[in-house]
Structure 1
Amino acid sequence: MSMRARFLLMAVLIVGVAACASEPIQFYTLIPPDSAMPATGVAGAPYQIEMLPVETPTQIDGPQMVLRRGGGEILLLETRRWIAPVADEVRSAISNRLTRELGTADVYGLPRTRDAAIYRIKVELNRFESYLDRSALIEATWSVRKLDTGAAPLVCKTRTEEPVTAGFPALVEGHQRAVVRIADAIAASLRQMATAQAASCP
């Protein structure tokens, strides 16, 4: 290879590396706009919720998006990220939906400010899978328990797979819809508990 050819090859490599290094990072959130997922509940619930931190598999507990492909292949995307680790994003999104849907407040980490019943909610992600241009899948085990009583918690599992169109924004919207479905399932059971009905899994 001539000196000129080596120089041109080196220049192409440098430009390529610089282009990759300068690719902007895109950030996404699991909390949908209010207009996208309107709440159907009413304000003024006589109870509060305590949304505990979400447990999630180690493989996805980070801000980077993780895509699944055929044959068990996993792709970790450095330039496509959630605004916070997945566990924190899921917790925020479920809390946001529940407080709006139930018309109450999330008092996790706060002192009790009034004499009101508190329902503790715990969520564990079993699966959080992203299939670009295909679907967004979330499977979660969750429980609801009224504090200061001897009642056992209600434990349920919800699995939802949302079809999506092409592109990352559509994939993110699919995950937003899936989280809302899980939150709405929790809300339905919690309403049963709060009205002294026999609570059951949706």
Structure 2
Amino acid sequence: MSVVSRKLILPALAMAVLLTGCGGSPNARYYTLQSSSQAIPAAPARIEYQIEVAPVSVPEQADQPQLMLRDGPGEGELMPMYSDRWSAPLGNEIRSALADTLTAKLGALDVNSLAPARDVPVWRVQANVQRFDMIVGGPVRLDATWRVRPIKVSGAAPLLCRTVIELPAQGNAVVGSLVEAQQQAVALLGQTIASAIESGGARALPASADVRLLGCA
């Protein structure tokens, strides 16, 4: 985004925040990281394993009911968008979106809130988000360390990786385009994690050129 465009957007956002704190409260808008276009997985002929996506930890700065936008790259000032809120706690939003992607990609059941079926192998997925940035005008950045761990999976091994994803924001809607870009980033993270499970923990493959793997062990 050009400097001129950013200078036009920032005052508009600042005015929106100011108006939110004055007079009557505007109606809140709620956003989710679960994509409405997520494919529904076909039922497998035989379920060979299940997945268990653990609760996701997120940075405290981003873990707020309202969306938190940065006014620039790096350590730009955070701006709370009081009328734009997550429909669930951010960690829950990311966990649900990851589970959607994994079940769609792998055709396996997510048993996070259920006891795994007896004697059925399970892949446990853990994710720790270090950065969840939505910068005014783009890009968005998702930096996460994640682990897949096999339980009763024959010939498989655990894998620990760090993934950084950066995507531009499309369209004219400041907040909506940023949320959509983060939806895509979480989906790419889920697809990358799925590749690790498909390989039995041997390797992870970036889901696109926008995904950087900074090492796996």
Deviation per CA, 1:69-128: give whole Å up to 9, x if none.
Answer: 136311011111110111110000000111111101111131223431100000000100
Q: Is the 8 A contact 1:62 1:84 kept in 2?
A: no
Question: Which among 169, 183, 192 is matched to residue 164 of structure 1?
Answer: 169
Name the structure where helix makes up a greater proportion of residues: 1
Structure 1 unmatched ranges of 5 or more: 1-15
Could you tell me which residue of structure 2 aligns to residue 27 of structure 1? 30
Matches within 5 A, 1:125-140: 125-140=129-144
1:19 deviation in Å?
Answer: 6.5
Separation in 2 of the partners of 1:185 and 1:159? 11
Query: In 2, distance between residues paired with 1:105 and 1:17?
Result: 42
Partner of 1:4: none
Query: Residues 46 and 173 from structure 1, CA distance in 2 versus in 1: closer, same or farther, beyond 3 angstroms?
Result: same
Number of aligned residues: 180
Alignment of 1:1-202 (within 5 A): 20-34=23-37, 37-38=38-39, 43-44=43-44, 45-70=47-72, 72-148=76-152, 153-165=158-170, 166-167=172-173, 168-193=175-200, 199-202=202-205
- After the TM superposition, list the runs of 4 or more consecutive aligned residues in structure 1 that deviate by more than 3 angstroms: 16-20, 148-152
Distance in 2 separating the partners of 1:157 and 1:97 = 18
Letter of the structure 2 residue corresponding to residue 188 of structure 1 = S
- Which structure 2 residue ranges, 5 or more long, are not aligned? 1-18, 206-217
- Structure 1 pair 25–42 and aligned structure 2 pair: CA distance change class (3 A): same
- Deviations 1:30-58 (CA, angstroms, capped at 9, x unpaired): 00112xx447x754241100100001111
Shift of 1:59: 1.2
User: Which structure has the greater CA radius of gyration?
Assistant: 1
Sort the Cα spacing of 1:18 and 1:30 in 2 relative to 1 into closer, same or farther, 3 A: closer
